[in-house]
A and B are shown apart, each in its own frame.
Chain A
Amino acid sequence: MAEGKSLRVAYGEALAELGAQNDKVVVLDADLSHATMTSIFAAQYPERFFNFGLAEANMMGAAAGFAHSGLIPFASTFALFGTGRAYEQIRNSIAYPKANVKFGLSHSGLSVGEDGGSHQSIEDIALMRVLPGMTIFVPCDPLETKKAVFAAAAIDGPVYIRVARPVVDVITVEDAPFIPGVANIMREGVDVCIIATGLMVKDALAASEELGQKGIGASVVNMHTIKPLDVDCVLQMAQTCKAIVTTEEHSVIGGLGSAVAEALAGQSSVKFARIGIQDKFGRSGKPEDLFKAYGLTALDIERQCLSLLR
Chain B
Amino acid sequence: MDDQALLEKAAAIRTDIVEMLYRCQSGHPGGSLSCVEILMALYYRVASVDPQNPSWEWRDRVVLSKGHGCPALYAILADKGFFPREDLWRLRQIDSHLQGHPDMRKTPGIDVSTGSLGQGASVAVGMALAAKYKKARYKVYAVLGDGEIQEGMVWEAAMSAAHYRLDNLVFILDHNGLQIDGSNEQVMSLGDIMAKFEAFGFKCRKVDGHDIGGIAGAISAPADGKPLFVLAETVKGRGVSFMENNAGWHGKPMNADEYGMALDELKGRHHG
Do A and B share a complex?
Answer: yes
| Interface-facing stretch out of A52-60, A176-184, A252-260 | A52-60
* Docked-complex contact B123 and A64, CB < 8 angstroms: yes
Partner of A65, one of B103, B105, B116, B122: B122
* A58, B112: Cβ atoms closer than 8 Å: no
B113 on the A face (CB < 8 A): yes
The answer to whether A283 has its CB under 8 Å from any CB of chain B is no
Flag if A62 contacts B125 (CB, 8 Å).
yes
| Nearest chain B residue, comparing its CB with the CB of A70 | B57
A69, B122: Cβ atoms closer than 8 Å: no
Binding site secondary structure of chain A: helix
Contacts of A61 in B (CB 8 A): 119-123, 125-126, 153, 157
| Closest CB in chain A relative to B159 CB, distance in Å | 7
Within 8 A of A (CB), among B70-115: 103-105, 111-113, 115
Q: Are A62 and B160 also in contact (CB < 8 A) when A68-B127, A97-B105 are?
A: yes
Q: Is B134 an interface residue (CB 8 A)?
A: yes
Quick one: given A55-B159, A69-B126, are A93 and B104 in contact (CB under 8 Å)? no
A50 touches B104 (CB 8 A): no
Does B115 contact A92, Cβ atoms closer than 8 Å? yes
Is the pair B129, A66 in contact by a Cβ cutoff of 8 Å? yes
Interface residues on B, range: 20 to 34
Contact among A47, A52, A68 for B133, CB-based, below 8 A: A47
| Residues B129 and A65 in contact, CB atoms below 8 Å apart | yes
Task: Please judge, given known A-B contacts A52-B160, A92-B113, A97-B104, whether A26 and B133 are in contact too, CB under 8 Å.
Answer: yes
Q: Which residue of A lies closest to B125 (CB)?
A: A62
**Contact between chains at A65 and B159 (CB < 8 Å):** no
Q: Which residue of A lies closest to B116 (CB)?
A: A92
- In the complex the two chains form, is A71's CB within 8 Å of B160's CB? no
Among B103, B112, B119, B128, residue most surrounded by chain A Cβ atoms (within 10 Å): B119
Number of interface residues of A (CB under 8 A): 30
Q: Flag whether B156 is at the interface (Cβ < 8 A).
A: yes
- Chain A residues 38-82 with CB under 8 Å of chain B are 47-48, 50, 52-53, 55, 57-71, 73
Q: State whether the Cβ of B228 lies closer than 8 Å to any Cβ in chain A.
A: no
Which residues of B127-159 have CB atoms within 8 Å of chain A's CB atoms?
A: 127-131, 133-134, 152-153, 156-157, 159
On chain B, the residues within 8 Å of A89 by CB distance are 119, 122, 153
A88 interface residue (CB < 8 Å to B): yes
Q: Which residues of A contact B112 (CB under 8 A)?
A: 64-65, 68, 93, 97
Note all chain A residues with C-beta closer than 8 A to B116: 88, 92-93
Asked if B157 contacts A58 (CB within 8 A), the reply is yes
Task: Answer yes or no: B124 CB below 8 A from chain A CBs.
Answer: yes
Q: How far is the CA of A268 from the CA of B123 in the complex (A)?
A: 45
Are A66 and B119 in contact (CB-based, < 8 A)?
no
Contact A57 B133 (CB under 8 A): no
The answer to whether residues A65 and B153 also contact, given A26-B133, A70-B57, A92-B116 and a CB cut-off of 8 A, is: no
What are 19 residue pairs bridging A and B, where the CB atoms are less than 8 Å apart in the complex? A55-B159, A57-B118, A59-B122, A62-B123, A63-B126, A65-B122, A65-B124, A66-B127, A66-B129, A68-B104, A68-B126, A69-B134, A70-B134, A92-B116, A93-B112, A93-B113, A93-B123, A97-B104, A98-B105
Nearest 10 A/B pairs, CB to CB? A65-B126, A61-B122, A62-B126, A69-B130, A58-B156, A55-B156, A65-B127, A97-B113, A92-B116, A65-B123
> In the complex, given contacts A53-B163, A62-B157, A70-B130, what are 6 additional A-B residue pairs having Cβ atoms less than 8 angstroms apart?
A48-B133, A55-B156, A55-B160, A58-B157, A66-B127, A66-B130
